[in-house]
Structure formats: C-alpha cells, structure tokens
Amino acid sequence: MIAVTDLGSAVALAVASVAGVAYVSWRLRSWYPIALGVLTLGLVQLLVLGIKVTIGRERPNPPGQVVPETGFSFPSGHSTSSLVGFALLAWLVCMLTGNRTVWATAWLAAAAGAVLVGLSRIYLGVHYPSDVLGGWMLGLTWLAVVAVAVWVWRARTTSRNGNHRTRSTAQR
C-alpha cells in the first residue's frame, strides 16, 4: 500500500506529468499540452493547499499508523492530485491517438489508479474516508472546470478565426 500511495505523491505525479506533457508537446509541435498540464495539475495544488489551510482538519492518529504524515487532512492531496494527474495523462494519451480502445484503456487506468491511491491513504491511516471523498470531489470538479474552460476557449478561437473544420487529433 505504501507503493500505491507513492504513485499519488507530488514527486511521482510531477515526473510523470512533465514527461507526458513534454512528449506530447514535442509530438504535436504544440504548446497546448504544456498549458493544459499547468492549468490542471499545477493550479489544483494551490486549491488543495488553500482548502487545507482554511479548514485546518487534523489528521487521524491511529496507534498502528504505518506512514507518518504531517499537515492538515482535508481534502486528501494525494487523492485530489492522483485523480487530476492520472486524468491529465489519459487526456494526453487521447491527444496522440484516435483509437477509442486506447482512450477507454487510458481512462479506466486513470480511474483505477485514483481509486487505489485514495483507498491506500485510508488503509495507511493518514486520512479519514471523508478526506479522500472530498479530494476526489475536488479533483472531479476541477477537471470539469478545466474541460469547460478548454471547450469555451476552443469555441471562441474557432469562431474568431473562422475555422470550422473538424477537430484534429491535437485539439482533443
């Protein structure tokens, strides 16, 4: 479970996201994946920090706590970040291919990874279940905000440029 929880750590997600964003940006010859990465995973970190400080909920302290953690408990940063980070990686995969089977596999893997990381935080005794659920809800909400922002941006850019052709793989 420690290895699973480490998949949702800031270091692991940052390394995977930077590598994924860099590769997709290079492949597509576009800054779009970089902006997407900063907007999704970068800004959600600030949201988590702000909420943690505002709410100030203490962590559980069970006698058999496996991993010592400090800082506030709600929302679970690992749960939020893993959901958003794994979703970002799935989104990047979708930018590279039109294969729906690959898309489905990427999104299922992202969802499974986020669920496993969240459950590991409860199992290790460093979060209450409500911390993990709150983290997942924050992550889903943030992804919805980003998706709508991207959709609006694309719609405005397309109408401003008079470009009504079908979307390319780079724009997915």
Question: Which residues does the annotation mark as catalytic?
Answer: 78, 127
Which tokens sit at 158? 């397309």
Contact criterion met (CB below 8 Å) for 124 and 65? yes
Contact criterion met (CB below 8 Å) for 30 and 172? no
Distances in Å between the alpha carbon of 159 and those of 122, 128, 150, 156, 165?
A: 47, 47, 14, 5, 11
Contact criterion met (CB below 8 Å) for 131 and 76? yes
Query: For the CA atoms of the chain, what is the radius of gyration?
Result: 17
19 phi and psi, to 5 degrees? -65, -45
Is the torsion defined by CA of 27, 13, 140, 50 positive or negative?
negative
